[in-house]
Amino acid sequence: MRCRDFGSILRAFADVLDAAGAFVARDQVVAFAAVFDASPTSSVSDLAKRLTAVRGDASTGSPSLGDVARLLSFLKGFLDKVAKGAVLADINAIERLLRDRASVELGAFVRMATEAAPGGASRKRNVPKVQDDLVCRYREKLEAALGDEEKFSTVYNDLRANAAVGKPEIMALAEQMTGSGGRGKDAALKKIWSRHQSLVVFKAKARATGGRSAA
């Protein structure tokens, strides 16, 4: 499986966690998905091998890779009867990588993995200055409104109309909310909106089945 597809699976899992109210777990999965967005065309197995050989910042802390490994174990159990063997094999490979470095802090690992990706160092040098306060404020508002079409549209439209919010802030916001900043402002906005729409669809399906799986 390509890394871009694996990242999409992780973000879909994050939306399920969001709908279940597991916000801490959701944020961990979204943050971890950035590792795969940095190498979209690589295979997951090749990325796992490359990261196993990388020796970088190994600072310990919380949340840790062990926390993410436990979440992947839940995901694997959920997909066990419906996913292809190759998908489960990729989840196993990543879970094993994380358990081998269980005490490493998640953010440190994501930075290390992103910088180790082709072009990672140059991307880091060229990142423009971001107004973190704006990003934080809009992320809180958007996260609180996810799945509510009226509330989310109000915050989203305000974000688009705010002249103080530029491309760096929009891309940083998309990175934090979806794991990928996109290639430009419009693409980043679409990613933010798509995450909301995915949750709207998920909730609609859940209501239609009375909260039961449609399988």
pLDDT for the residue 192? 92
Q: What pLDDT does residue 58 have?
A: 61
Give the pLDDT score at 19.
83
Tell me the C-alpha to C-alpha distance, in Å, between residue 149 and each of 140, 146, 201, 204, 212: 16, 8, 11, 12, 23
pLDDT of 152 reads 93
Measure the CA–CA gap between 148 and 87, rounded to whole angstroms. Answer: 32
Arithmetic mean of pLDDT over the chain: 83
pLDDT in tens, 150-177: 999 999 999 998 877 888 889 889 888 8
C-alpha pair distances (Å), 211 with each of 34, 79, 198, 199, 206: 30, 18, 16, 14, 5
State pLDDT tens for residues 66-83.
999 999 999 988 888 888
| Rounded-to-integer distance, Cα 36 and Cα 145, Å | 27
pLDDT at 56: 53
pLDDT for 38: 81
C-alpha–C-alpha distance, residues 153 and 143, integer Å: 12
Radius of gyration of the chain (CA): 17
- Cα 114 off chain centre by: 13
Beta strand ranges found along the chain (DSSP E): none
Helix then strand count (H, E) for the chain reads 11, 0
pLDDT of residue 91: 92
Task: Using 70 as the pLDDT threshold, list the residues of the chain that sit under it.
Answer: 55-58, 118-129, 181, 210-215
Burial of 113 (0-12, 13-18, 19+ CB in 10 A): buried
- What's the pLDDT at 119? 52
* CB burial string 36-45: b at 16+ within 10 A, e below: bbbbeebbbe
Residue 214's pLDDT is 44
Angle in degrees, 0-180, between the axes of helices 149-161 and 132-145, rounded to the nearest 10: 160
Domain boundaries, the chain: 3-125, 132-208
